[in-house]
Every structure is written in structure tokens, then in C-alpha cells.
Structure 1
């Protein structure tokens, strides 16, 4: 199984960052505007990326105490036999935030495209949370 782990610091306070990350159905509004469109159907978040890739993600856990959200891909066009990811928001000195995004995926052949997606997504997330400016990227998993 391939694991992709990305950590970066955001120049924003953790409470504000967590308020955005915990809003599971609104990725396209404030977490990474322009990176993907999302909507909720029943217990599934449907994410459509700029290249047309669609993933159906089910919320696994939203932990207010640890500021962690976990989700798994349950359908769509990604064709992963396993995909589980989590995002966590941690306080850093000076009112900054450490953002942790971890993904486990099978088959291993998906590691490279998922890693590229995480890199582009991380840049979009950082820009959106630090500046409030919508970000346009065109990567997909």
C-alpha cells in the first residue's frame, strides 16, 4: 500500500483553519476554491475535479477534540481498491497552524498521481487559508 504524507505550515490561527476544514461539504467554497466542486448526497461527498475526475467520499470521522477529519473513497472514477485519507489541524507557535494530510491508497500505481494531486491541493489550501483568494489549479487524483 502506498502512503502519501504532506505537512505544511499555514499563516492562520488553528481555530479559523479548523472551522474551514471541518465543513466537509464545502471544500469548493473556502478550503480549496477552484480546485474542485463538491456536493453532498446522503452520506457521501461527491467531488468533481477540473479534469472531470469524480470521487465519492464517505466521512469516516470528524473529531472536534483532535481537529481531524477522515474520509474514504467509496466510488467514482478513481478506480482505487482502497483510499483512506485524513486531514488534521494542529496549533503551532505564533498563532500559526500545522496542516497534516495523510492518504493511504491501493493499488500502488495510484501513488504518483495522488501525490501530485496532494501537492497541488496543498498549494491551493495554503493560498486559500492564508489569503482568502480563490485558487485555480487543474490537478486531479
Structure 2
């Protein structure tokens, strides 16, 4: 795994089609990728979801873009404490039955960087386990 600020580049033991299927599902993808971390996700208006964490925290996010051929999904966190947010996940094929997940999270103000980096570090192994080949 490569860690550079708010970028995570991780190899997964899962076919790229399986990873993309989860990532590209804006509403239910978080529940599939982060079981136990996310307990709810629902569309609250066209292009916006509310994501509920196990601790009860609710985050609102807006859909930005989905690029099927590139297997890239983009969304942003919406909140009073957030001036700007852009999150993307992109999936690449990496040999037989493996993928590479590139996850980038850019946000302002910079004071959120430490918290977001920690969250990304904690979520990456959860994603790896949930998407592992042979699983769902």
C-alpha cells in the first residue's frame, strides 16, 4: 500500500469487475465495502446520499461522476465544516484475479486532513476483507 497524504494505492485480492461493481453503486456500495463500519446508506435526494456510520454519525455526500470505461467514481462530502471535498476511487486490473484500488480524498479546510487520513487507513483493510475473492 502506498500512502501519500490523502492518497491510498492498494492491491486487492479481488477481480476488478467485483471491486468496480461495489464502488460504482453509489447508494449500497459503502455497505458492501465497509460492513460493520457503515450501517446505513440512502438516497435523500437525486444525487445525494446519507451514509450512517456504526457510531451513529451521519455524513451527507453528493454524486459527482462515474466513468464506466475507466472504472472511476467521484463523490463529495457535504457539510458545514467542509469548504470543498472531492473523493475518487478508481479500479485497475492487476494480474489474475487481482485489482489495484486508487483512493484519493481532497478536502478543505486542511484541518480535516489528519482525521481523513486516519479514517482512510482504518477503512482500507476493511475494504480489502469485504472485497476479497470468494466473498460476496
TM over 0.5: yes
Name the SS for the 1:127 alignment partner: helix
More contact order relative to length (CA 8 Å, sep ≥ 6): 1
Shift of 1:12: 0.9
**In structure 1, distance between residues paired with 2:21 and 2:125:** 19
In the other structure, the counterpart of 2:20 is 18
Deviation at 1:55, TM superposition (A): 1.4
Number of matched residues? 129
Cα distance in 1, alignment partners of residues 17 and 29 from structure 2: 17
Equivalent pair of 1:10/1:97 in contact (CA under 8 Å): yes
Unaligned runs of 5+ in 2: none
| 1:119 shift after superposition | 0.9
Say whether the 8 Å CA contact 1:28–1:34 is kept in structure 2. Answer: no
Contact 2:23–2:30 at 8 Å: present in 1 too?
Answer: no
| Alignment TM-score, normalising by the size of structure 2 | 0.87
Q: TM-score with structure 1 length normalisation?
A: 0.84
The question of 1:50 aligning with 2:69 is answered no
Deviation, structure 1 residue 50: 2.3
1:89 lines up with 2:85 in the alignment: no
Q: Equivalent residue of 2:96, what SS?
A: helix
What are structure 1's unaligned runs of at least 5 residues?
A: 134-141
Structure 1 position 61 matched with structure 2 position 65: yes
Q: Secondary structure at the match of 1:47?
A: strand
User: Following the alignment from structure 1 to structure 2, what is the Cα–Cα distance between the partners of residues 8 and 70?
Assistant: 18
Q: Deviations over 1:17-49 (max 9, x none)?
A: 111111110134311111112111112111122
Over the aligned positions, Cα root-mean-square deviation in angstroms equals: 1.6
Contact 1:27 1:33 in 2 (8 A): no
Displacement of 1:129 in angstroms is 0.3
